[in-house]
Amino acid sequence: MTKLRILAVATWAALAGCSTTPPPLAEMAVAKAAVERAEQPAARHAPDELLGAQRKLAAAQTALRNENFEQARRLADEAEVDARLALAISESSQARQSLEQVKEGITVLRQEMLRKPQ
C-alpha cells in the first residue's frame, strides 16, 4: 500500500508540474506585431537591431512549438523590446536627417538674404 501511495503522489506531482505554464499566445502576437511594424523603417536605419528582433521571434516560435512556454515567453518579450528599439533608432535617424535638411535650407536662405543685389 505504501508503494502505491508513493507512486500516486509522484504521478500527481509530475502532472501538476507539466501544466503550470500556459502558452504565451498574447506575448507572441504582440512580439510579431512589433517586429512587423519595425520591419520597413528599421531595415534601412537599424538593420542589426531588426535582425535581432526577427531572430528572437523565430526562436520564440520554435520554443512555442516545442512547448517550452517559459523560454517562448521570454524570447517573445525580448523580440518585442528589440523591435521597439529598432523602430526608435529608425525614427531618430530619420528625424536627424530631416533636421540636417532644414539646417541646410536655412543656410541657403541666409546666404540669399546676405547676397548683395547686382
Q: What are the boundaries of each domain within the chain? A: 21-114
Structure confidence at residue 112 (pLDDT)? 84
CATH class of 21-114: mainly alpha
Comparing 9 with 93, which gets the higher pLDDT?
A: 93
Write the pLDDT tens digit of every residue in 10-59: 666 555 555 578 999 999 999 999 999 999 999 999 999 999 999 999 99
E strand or H helix at 113: helix 69-114
Write the pLDDT tens digit of every residue in 88-111: 999 998 888 888 888 889 998 888
pTM (2 decimals)?
0.71
Instruction: Record the cell numbers describing residue 27, joined without a space.
Output: 506575448
